[in-house]
Amino acid sequence: MKLTDLFSSEGFAEFMKAYHLLLNQKFSFPALTGLKPLHRAADVFNLSGAEELMANLDLNRKIEFVLNEPYEQVIEDIFTQGIEVLEGGDTSLASEKFFKVIDVNPNHIDALYHIAFIEYEKGNYHDARVYTSAAITVGFNLLGNEFCWNRAELRWAYLRNRPFLRAYHMLGLVEQNTGNIQLAADIYERLLMVNPNDNQGIRMIIPECWHELGLHEKVYRLWNDNYSNDYSSELPFSVVLSLFALNRKKEAAELLAEVNRNSPLFIREMLKKNHPKPKDASIWGVATGSHDEAFKYWQRNGNNWSNTAGALEFLSEFSLNNPIINKALQRNKECKRLGKYT
């Protein structure tokens, strides 16, 4: 099944079949209630018109939407237990709790999303896609036929919007990790359109897709037009790569110097021969300026830097002219000689 066909009548039926097949492997569940195929598939997964999505982030022309998803307290208590168990690291028990929630209410977006999250973390991308698509389906039915990506606003500030935004974000991650890079980029763009404040950090990951697609100018425009005062170094570090790829090396060097002042670990991580997982790593978030931040950036973007001719040499040359970075790299070489890594 193509995701672009998900909300056609035929595609919806196929999706529902896959969804219930997965459910029946766990427990016996009632069907998703009250759901119907959306007649405007173009508003959901159509790949045409992607260029217009980032053309204007003007909130004045937006129509604000807030999902109204009523839950019973007893269901919320079970869901909260699932969250607490998941935070404690017991994914099996957490999954059982979330399945209990959708046994009673199959339209619980957040429970569906968290099941997808657990499957995604295990590398089960097919199951993650099915469950997060179920959550998205519920969300679109709640939003109604008036919802249109390039005219809507779904603010993260409203708690009831968050499960849907998380689920759509998850779909992007699944598509990106299964090689559907253009589709993932389109999903990320839509999220930035409806929530330009970007509480989810989409601006950090969409450059990965654009680099792979060779859309370096879009990376620069995203940063320069909307997020040039961003607190994180991830986006500007990706912009450095884009500027270098666009042969704007002077601008790249100037921005790299600025990024390095704020996050000196990035260059060091990119130039390492070995990349052990930092002790401060967490699945729940990344601390700005941490080893984990630099490591996870390398995990996601290392190939794009390696595949851009001369990019790593550019970083190496910069580091040789920076005594602090050079000292750190020499220390890392000594650790390697002793069988230790930092």
Q: Are 283 and 248 within 8 A, CB to CB? A: no
Share of the chain above pLDDT 70, in %: 73
Query: What does the alpha-carbon distance between residue 87 and residue 84 come to, in Å, rounded to a whole number?
Result: 5
Q: What is the mean pLDDT of residues 296-325?
A: 88
Pairing of strands 63-64, 152-153: parallel
The least confident of 60-64, 120-124, 262-266 is: 60-64
Q: Residue ranges per domain, the chain?
A: 1-200, 217-342
pLDDT beyond 50 at 49: no
pLDDT score of 45 = 41
pLDDT score of 65 = 74
The least confident of 6-10, 112-116, 165-169, 271-275 is: 6-10
Report the chain's mean pLDDT, rounded to a whole number: 81
Q: What is the mean pLDDT of residues 44-65?
A: 44
Work out the pLDDT band at 7, boundaries 50, 70, 90: very low
Query: What does the alpha-carbon distance between residue 302 and residue 80 come to, in Å, rounded to a whole number?
Result: 37
Spell out the residues 6+ positions from residue 237 whose beta carbon is closer than 8 angstroms to its own.
Answer: 256, 259, 263, 266, 297
pLDDT score of 166 = 98
pLDDT beyond 60 at 58: no
64 vs 304: which has the higher pLDDT: 304
pLDDT score of 36 = 43
- Give the rounded distance of the alpha carbon of 86 from its chain centre: 19
Work out the pLDDT band at 153, boundaries 50, 70, 90: very high
pLDDT beyond 50 at 78: yes
Looking at residue 289, the DSSP 8-state letter turns out to be: T
Q: Record the pTM.
A: 0.78
Q: Are 238 and 301 within 8 A, CB to CB? A: yes
Q: What is the mean pLDDT of residues 12-29?
A: 51
Highest mean pLDDT among 56-70, 133-147, 158-172 belongs to 158-172
pLDDT score of 116 = 97
CA angle at residue 271 from 265 to 275, to 5 degrees? 80
pLDDT score of 30 = 35
Spell out the residues 6+ positions from residue 205 whose beta carbon is closer than 8 angstroms to its own.
Answer: 172, 173, 176, 188, 300
- Is the domain spanning 1-200 CATH 3.30.565.10? The answer is no
Share of the chain above pLDDT 90, in %: 58
pLDDT score of 195 = 95
